[in-house]
Structure 1
Amino acid sequence: MTDTLIDRRDLAFQLYEVLDTENLTTRERFSEHNRDTFDAVIETADKMAREKFATHNSAADKDEPKFVNGQVEMLPQVKEAFDAYAQAGFIAGRYDYELGGMQLPESVMAACNGFFTAANPGTAGYPFLTTAAANLIRVFGNEQQKTTFLPNMLSGRFSGTMALTEPHAGSSLADIRTSASPTDEGHYLIKGAKIYISGGEQSITDNIVHMVLAKIKGAPAGVKGISLFIVPKFLVDGEGNPTERNGVSLAGLIHKLGYRGTTSTALSFGDDAPCHGYLVGEPHQGLKYMFQMMNEARVGVGFGAAVIGYRGYMHSLEYAKDRLQGRRASEKNPESPQVPIIDHADVRRMLLAQKAYSEGGLALCLYGARLMDDQHTHPDEQKRQEAGKLLDLLTPVIKAWPSEYGPKANDLAIQVYGGAGYTREYPVEQCWRDNRLNPIHEGTNGIQAMDLLGRKIWQDQSHGLQLLMQEMQVDLQAATTDRCQQWALSLSETLQQAVKVTQSLGKSLMEGDPDKTLANASCYLHLFGHIMVAWMWLRQANAASHALGSANTDDERNFYQGKLQAAQYFFHWELPTVAQDLVLLRNQDDTCLNMKSEWF
């Protein structure tokens, strides 16, 4: 069984030949790095993921965390992996040297974290949530909060969570009921219940720092009344050391289809004892602050979906090369040797689809990571602002497209294995179960579609969309070979049709019919996502075509030819599927909108 998580040659191609990540070292923040240091960190991540994370992925799935006497019992390997990740500096990897970080680009950190998620999504969830929670405190917390919590979180002594969802309020955060009452001592007393909180209780770290959304007594109704609080599992002294237990308790564990290694918890705040919370930033700005963490998490979800799909592809590719079954249609001799199933065209179809989805999704997510780097470190202020606008526009797509097509890749991996793929004796069924969460959490893909068409497209007079089209034009014009020019023409024509549909939908929204206009938002997200991934494949095809002429080994030539063939697959098999989306959107089809609940 392969231990390849992500093809290192593909990752190097995407980072250095497509994104020119090495050029980031000319920026002051990354000036102490070079490609060698980037590659060394990536090598460490790959090795650690295989040796510390992948080795208990199946065991953590079979022996999931247990709720015993109000505590969580977990496999000891989970803590060992978390500690190894923290001690290697990965939690603080993107942070300043002064905070114990390595000042690595987001592009490189995203690549590193991809190995850990591919190896073991359940265990990888703990440090990823900790990093995101720490970043919230770093950006919006006061100096005391930073001093108290940041060093402990970045070292891995404390972990972090995102506590938003309540039993009656999932996507509709305006309806949360968790309350916060001010005290004379300066803290707040938190009262309420949260559910589906990943990592909300565990036996890994000395403390858990919950980032909790709650409403201060007397706050405005709806989202304008939501505030953000730090609620630690244990109260801490002036030096950040845990002291007495805070009034947050585990009400129960939730049993999931996949991602079983990450505890999914129901938490009770203030039921058994007073629960102290510390306001982050200004009152009633909590959702605004939390959206930073949520947007980071959404990009992370997309990345995770892409690499779990990628790992399933790696497994099924190896299986297809080794598994002997049947003969080619042209072979009439029944006594001839059986051939590897990869020799059958339909198996190649399924492998090509996985390659297109996984490597295309990875390219999209790495592009998003590069936008993060440009947003924060580009020497040109205008370029920083433009990168931020592009990232804001594309976040729903980066979250949703890979989380839609990563599980599709895993489904195809199961099919390549045949009956064996449906059994727990082989790894691909767990890949699918783990990946099936990604279209749901951190905002369902339906919510992402509504966000894209209902809000993101029109922000700042659609400046983000204009910037995106300018970026795409660069690669459309860079297509020089016959094949790439053909694909560029196909993409350009599809893009023009999408622009016309977008303009029509915008007019409908302005005329005040949002229900009808947004009814088919998922079609728009599919259209937009496929155009984005087609662009990613054109970028890869341009780079591969350019490099192919100077490739001097069979392995290199095969690699670039594989890129071109996968690009062809996407342009021939996938991009044409948006034609139906265009028709439904153009006609503002009302089939779903006009279906009445009593007709079901």
Structure 2
Amino acid sequence: MSLRNTLDFLLYDWLQVQQLSERSRYADHGRETFDAVLDTCERIAADKFAPFNRLVDTQEPHFDGEKVVLPQATYDARQAYADSGMLSAAQDYALGGMQLPFVVESAANTFFAKASISIGSNMLTTGNANLLMAHGTPLQQQVFAHNEFNGRFTGTMCLSEPQAGSSLSDVATRAVPDGADFEADPLGARYRLRGNKMWISSGDHELSENIVHLVLAKVPDASGKLVPGVKGISLFIVPKKLVDSQGQLTGERNDVALAGLNHKLGWRGTTNTLLNFGEGQYPVRGSAGAIGYLVGQVGDGLRCMFHMMNEARIAIGMAATMLGQAGYEASLEYAKNRPQGRPLGAGGKDAAAPQVAIFGHADVRRMLLAQKTYCEGALALNLLAARLVDEQHTGGEGSAAEAKLLLEVLTPIAKSWPSEWCLEANSLAIQIHGGYGYTRDFPVEQYWRDNRLNMIHEGTHGIQANDLLGRKVRMQDGAGLKLLTQRIEATAAQAQQQPELAGLAQQLQAAWQVVLSTTEQAWQWGDANRTLANAVPYMQGFGHVVLAWIWLDVASAVVASSGAALDAKAQGRLACAQFFFRYELPKIGAWLQVVQTGDTTCVDLIDEGF
């Protein structure tokens, strides 16, 4: 089944996104324009991205002493993407945008992620610009965000540091006011930054006129010291090349230097960098330090940055999903065309009989159905998250507030579940190919390598789990969890009215009650360290029940839209729901049991025991 067919069903039959056209922001649109966007993106991805996925994997970015060199195909693909208008697809008409719903934009971008995640990683530019639209001054928006939307500039997110990793409280990059008149610059309060940032995707290249770095740095206190913890962390715009108040390059290079390229297991076509800020390699305007412009208020950096982080986490979930989908499609095609073995008959195998395609073997079919279930379920989850973004911004006051709260709870799952289980789908794709899958003669090994990053970046599995159990399910006295409970109960009630789904509805209700009781039990010890020691198993159990809910809701839409006659596509979707409930949902017992008992096996072992 093609990705496009699945998108059409999830968008129009399940999420009913055509109804968004009734809202004033999207009044110029309907299914016809949504389909036209999907058609265009599918074509560009097929022409400019997919044919070069292996090329950008083998011809990694390199530094020639002056600049980072990338294959010409990367330039051509990025230009085609920028020309399509997708960088500003959800923005206002006044910005040259299309005012598309975010859920349609997300669906359209799946084609690029599936075709080549290394070339198609435009999420940081869009996320960077969206952050500035939310927290920047009008001039910062005009000079930086607008030029990211139109393709002149690209953007990054600079959080991690070599000595700190994901521990933002240990950020050591400093930002000090640039002279007595530092607030006089029209682009914002001007600071000088010094420090190092690690793992910066697209941190240096020649794909655009300029690169807009969003950098977290600490502003020293009155004594000139950096305050421990996150207090004082602020956000700065640090362009690679300085610009004037009209957004034109001044000809001056900012003191941002490439210290090295990281050579990765996957995503090899995307530059990943160590950047030095303010170390004097490019002295600027007679003073030490890279010039940066404050975004928002001093000390408000994390709040501003997480506007971008949450958007990036949904995008990572979608990227993981599409890499899994690419592997599924490749292994399905291989299974249908690879003859090997013979079927078992009543008397065993007939060695004289012709070989059959491995598609006919039961275990291969199990692995294919598992992949299909993981990937289509993850796609539905992330489209739902994107739909909640639209509701948050264009729904009525009550529905917008509910959407925001529900999205808070679901975001750790939208990022973590696809990055774990669509990676497992890629592993199964290799298994179906056998020894060939482990070679570069077939694409599935690259899909696995590319996908392995997604459990790490934009917040590791452990970070997502601590966020879920430590904060999201408890915030506002558990209001988000209660809202999710209402949604799950509503789906179960609807499915109870459909005879073929009533049994699954009962399973879902029982499983969710286990999650709710486990959530209460997890905090009974009065010891956060003990509770969070098993945060990842909690998230795995929680995530699996959320996916069971997703699949039951999708299955209910299948039954409602199909009537008595189920075509092959409908049968496939119902089989996925059945597979998930029979093969996957029972796994939650093992995960949640260690949470319920507060098991401390991992933390109790003496250091020498490892």
TM bucket by the smaller chain?
A: over 0.9
Q: What does residue 269 of structure 1 align with? A: 277
Question: Is 1:488–2:517 an aligned residue pair?
Answer: no
Amino acid at match of 1:120: S
Residue number in structure 2 paired with 1:347: 364
Deviations 1:256-281 (A, max 9, x none): 00000110001011112241100001
- SS at 2:593's partner residue? helix
Counterpart pick for 2:266 among 248, 258, 273: 258
Per-residue Cα deviation, 1:570-600 (whole angstroms, up to 9, x for no partner):
0000000001122212111111121222211
Matched, 1:573 2:583: yes
1:595 paired residue number: 605
Decide whether the 8 Å contact of 2:114 with 2:326 is kept in 1.
yes
Write out per-residue CA displacement over residues 317-370 of structure 1, whole angstroms, 9 at most, x where no aligned residue. 111111111111116332222111110000000001101110011111111011
Q: In structure 1, which of residues 196, 199, 216 is the aligned counterpart of residue 199 of structure 2?
A: 196
Whole-Å Cα distance in 2 between the matches of residues 213 and 17 of structure 1? 42
Query: Percent identity over the alignment?
Result: 48
| CA distances 1:99-121 after superposition (whole Å, capped 9, x unpaired) | 11101111101111111111111
Q: Confirm or deny that 1:526 pairs with 2:540.
A: yes
Residue 547 of structure 1 is matched in structure 2 by: 561
Displacement of 1:151: 2.2
Tell whether the 8 Å contact from 2:128 to 2:145 is kept in structure 1 after alignment: no
Query: What's 2:74 paired with?
Result: 78
Tell me, yes or no, if the aligned pair for 1:488 and 1:538 is still in contact at 8 Å: yes
Q: CA deviation at 1:185?
A: 3.5
Cα distance in 2 for partners of 1:215, 1:590 equals 36
Q: Which amino acid aligns with 2:609?
A: W
Is the CA contact 2:48–2:77 (under 8 Å) kept in the aligned structure 1?
yes
Residues 505-524 of structure 1 mapped to structure 2, 5 A cutoff? 505-508=522-525, 511=526, 513-524=527-538
**Secondary structure of 1:276's aligned partner:** strand
In structure 1, C-alpha distance between the alignment counterparts of 2:499 and 2:606, rounded to whole Å:
51
- In the alignment, structure 1 segments of 5+ residues that lack a partner are none
Matches within 5 A, 1:53-64: 53-64=49-60
Q: TM-score scaled to structure 1, two decimals?
A: 0.96
Shift of 1:91: 0.3
Alignment of 1:558-569 (within 5 A): 558-569=568-579
Which aligned pairs between 1:157-556 and structure 2 lie closer than 5 A?
A: 157-183=152-178, 184-186=181-183, 187-218=190-221, 220-243=227-250, 244-271=252-279, 272=281, 273=283, 274-330=289-345, 332-378=349-395, 380-479=396-495, 480-508=497-525, 511=526, 513-549=527-563, 551=565
Secondary structure, counterpart of 1:121 in structure 2: coil
Query: Would the aligned equivalents of 1:547 and 1:560 in 2 still touch at CA under 8 Å?
Result: no
CA deviations 1:244-300 (Å, max 9, x no partner) are 111101011010000001100010111122411000011110011001101111111
CA distance in 2, matches of 1:443, 1:120: 22
Deviation per CA, 1:8-30, whole angstroms, max 9, x where unpaired?
Answer: 11111111111111111111111
Measured after TM superposition, the shift of residue 546 of structure 1 is: 2.1
- For the residues of structure 1 that align with 2:67 and 2:218, how far apart are their CA atoms? 28
CA distance in 1 between counterparts of 2:595 and 2:482 reads 20
SS in 1 for 2:341: coil
Take 1:415 and 1:332, find their aligned partners in 2: how far apart are those partners? 23
Listed one character per residue, the Cα deviations across residues 14-54 of structure 1 (whole Å, up to 9, x for unaligned) are 11111111111111111110001101101111111111111
2:524 & 2:483 partners in 1: Cα distance? 21
Match of 1:117 among 109, 113, 120: 113
Instruction: Say which SS state the counterpart of residue 319 (structure 2) adopts.
Output: helix
- SS of the aligned residue for 2:207 comes to coil
The aligned amino acid for 1:458 is R
Residue 144 (1) aligns with residue 139 (2): yes
* 4+ residue runs over 6 A deviation: none
Q: Secondary structure at the match of 2:275?
A: strand
> Partners in 2 of 1:89 and 1:597 — Cα distance?
55
Q: In the alignment, which residue of structure 2 is the partner of 1:48? A: 44
Question: How far 1:414 moved relative to its partner?
Answer: 0.5
What is the Cα deviation at residue 550 of structure 1? Answer: 5.6
Q: CA distance change for structure 1 residues 419 and 444 in 2, over 3 Å: closer, same or farther?
A: same
Q: Secondary structure at the match of 1:460?
A: helix
Deviations 1:480-515 (A, max 9, x none): 33331111111111111111111122343xx3x111
Q: What is the SS of the residue equivalent to 1:334?
A: coil
Amino acid at match of 2:33: T
Question: What SS class does the counterpart of residue 216 from structure 2 fall into?
Answer: strand
CA 45–98 in structure 1, closer or farther in 2 if over 3 Å, else same? same
Whichever residue aligns with residue 276 of structure 1, its letter is: I
- Residue 334 of structure 1 aligns to which amino acid in structure 2? A
Separation in 1 of the partners of 2:6 and 2:259? 44
Q: Is the contact between residue 360 and residue 533 of structure 1 (CA under 8 Å) also seen in structure 2?
A: yes
Q: Answer whether contact 1:191 1:275 (CA < 8 A) is retained.
A: yes
Q: Which of 132, 145, 153 is the equivalent residue of 2:148? A: 153
Counterpart amino acid of residue 350 in structure 1: M
Question: Could you tell me which residue of structure 2 aligns to residue 104 of structure 1?
Answer: 100
Unaligned runs of 5+ in 2: 184-189, 284-288
Counterparts of 2:227 and 2:162, CA distance in 1:
21
Contact 2:220–2:232 (Cα < 8 Å) also in 1: no
- CA distance in structure 2 between the aligned counterparts of 1:70 and 1:223, rounded to whole angstroms: 36
- For residues 407-457 of structure 1, what are the alpha-carbon distances to aligned partners after superposition, in whole Å with 9 as ceiling and x for unaligned? 100000001111111110101000000000000001101110011001111
Deviations 1:290-316 (A, max 9, x none): 011011111111111011101110111
Tell me if structure 1 keeps the 8 A contact 2:159–2:197: yes
Name the CA distance, whole Å, in 1 between partners of 2:498 and 2:550: 17
Q: Which amino acid aligns with 1:195?
A: M
Q: SS of the residue aligned with 2:175?
A: strand
Aligned with 2:237: secondary structure?
Answer: strand
Number of matched residues? 587
CA contact 1:52–1:81 (8 Å) conserved in 2: yes
- Mapped to 2, the partners of 1:21 and 1:593 lie a distance apart of 47
SS of equivalent to 1:224: coil
Contact persistence 1:134–1:153 (CA under 8 A): yes
Cα distance in 1 for partners of 2:209, 2:263 equals 24
Are the counterparts in 2 of residues 70 and 251 from structure 1 also a CA contact under 8 Å? no
Alpha-carbon distance between aligned partners in 2 of 1:221 and 1:144, rounded to the nearest angstrom = 32
Q: CA RMSD in A?
A: 1.2
SS of 1:91's equivalent? Answer: helix
The one-letter code sitting in structure 2 at the alignment partner of 1:486 is G
3-state secondary structure, aligned to 2:356: coil
Contact 1:305–1:402 (8 Å) recurs in 2: yes
Matched, 1:557 2:573: no
Amino acid at match of 2:491: D
| Mapped partners of 1:298, 1:281: distance in 2 | 22
